[in-house]
Amino acid sequence: MKTFTEKEIEQTINEEYLRLGLPRSPAIGFDHIYHEEQKSNTRSRSEIQDFSTQISPHVRINIPILGANMIDVTDEKMMIALAREGGIAFPPQFFHIAAIGSMIDKTHRAECALIEKPITVRPEKTLKEAKQLMQQHNIKGLLVTDNARRLIGLLSSKDWQYELDETKLVGDLMTSKEKKRLITAPKSVSFADAEKIFLKHKKEKLPLVDGWGKVTGLITARGLFYNRFYPRALRDEKGRFLCGATIGVGRHLTKTKLKEIEYLLEKEVPIILIDTSRAWAINMEDVLKATAHLIRHIKKYANIDVAAGNVSTWGGAKFLIECGADAVKVGQGPGSQCQTRKTGTGTPQITAIIECSVVTRLYGKYCWGDGGVKTPGDIIHAIIAGANAYMLGKLIVGTEESAATAFPNKDGDIRYKTYRGSASVSVQQERQAQGNLDYQRRPEGFKEDVPVFGPLKWRLNDLLHGISSGMSFFGAKTVSELHEKGIMRRKEKE
């Protein structure tokens, strides 16, 4: 890796401030700036439909939105909902590693085109037992197999949804070769050929079997044709929703931590986020270098990227990249529930993004903003400043799919969700109860009740309409063009 000197970086940063039309000092936050209109060749904001952006060497998303790895924001519901709309979410690192793995598994299985390890049931099980299994995995059908995992039938919703007697056996309800021709395909079938089978036979599920009739996978019609209904949906080559994985740093790099890293790498996520509020630190160096080493030296991990954060200076960004990060998460203290800046640390966010993104571009890496966004205009300013995407917390915690539990107000006519900073007292207490925090620190976060306003799709559509409007003032048709064409001005009065 080519490295850059302090002089080279400082010179490039000064040139970037000049290009953007901003002074380097004093430091700049979201509330300090605005952008002026320019002559635009965009006739209508509706012309702007491409919001895609590259966030790491192997990951491109369809909207510049990342779901924050916060306890009240992201679980499998948010990971699925955001991937459905073209973004990518990261689970909180504070849960037990198996719980994080379970969130990833549920996201991968949700409305998936190709399920490599479908859930199966034996024919002697009762309908009640089968329903419990389906409820556990949030599915509506099961493959029925014998002791050798040979396929003998399919229990679909059509077979059981009108059946009132739950003591009936699966074998008596399932679609089988004896009752009706069961359509299957070899495990090598392509998605194109599977599509033809679905169109011909009008089935919902296509079991895959080997030469001995053993189950090797399952293709679902809902997953295969999904992009026709959700064109922005993010899916991998197996038709699974894209999501990230997250891990913390801890005090020391232990054997347990190494096993946790390998466990997440085995989950086949495209990107792993190593997260701590103070990333320019020796314990981050240990974990980041260990993760990067595994990715570089184990062939099956070669296409997995690693992101790290948070930092808020170009020195911190340079440190993370030289330790192995493909993307740098920027922001210390700008979040609405964060009180880190009461410690005296934290660069105003626009300045932090400008200076960190200069370094990420010099090294051919990527920059994510994190915290403090209140409006679509803030996201526009962050992209102009150099962010490839922005991580949201408060703006999406009020959606129905966020991880927080909704509760009614005293009159019962408005629902709220509680949004807590990751270093708040209550989150620290949860971590203590889980055994991953030894004692409570001075809180650097607090909580707030946020009204529930509807599904995530509504919020994202509102944000994207605002972003497209802002892009139209620059004549920018893509996110990368917005960065290239955008300029900003500092307000004369705060």
Active site residues: 338, 431
Residue type, 134: M
β-strand pairing of 447-451 with 415-420: antiparallel
d(CA 27, CA 37): 23
d(CA 201, CA 309): 50
Token code pair at residue 465 = 């309409």
Please state, as a whole number, how many other Cβ atoms lie within 10 Å of the Cβ of residue 18. 11
Question: Is the distance from CB of 426 to CB of 420 less than 8 angstroms?
Answer: yes
Token code pair at residue 185 = 């395909």
Helix/strand number for the chain, H first, E second: 17, 23
d(CA 233, CA 225): 11
Question: Is the distance from CB of 79 to CB of 110 less than 8 angstroms?
Answer: no
d(CA 392, CA 403): 14
**CB-based contacts of 476, cutoff 8 Å, min separation 6:** 48, 482, 484, 485, 486
Token code pair at residue 444 = 């650097």
Q: Give the SS3 label for residue 127.
A: helix
d(CA 419, CA 421): 7
Of 329, 386, 331, the C-alpha closest to 355 is: 386
Residue type, 199: L
- How is 415-450 classified by DSSP, letter by letter? EEEEEE-TTSHHHHHHHHHHTS-SSPPPP-B-EEEE
- 405 DSSP assignment: P
Token code pair at residue 346 = 């934290």
The count of C-alpha atoms lying within 13 angstroms of the C-alpha of 67, restricted to the half-sphere facing its C-beta, is: 37
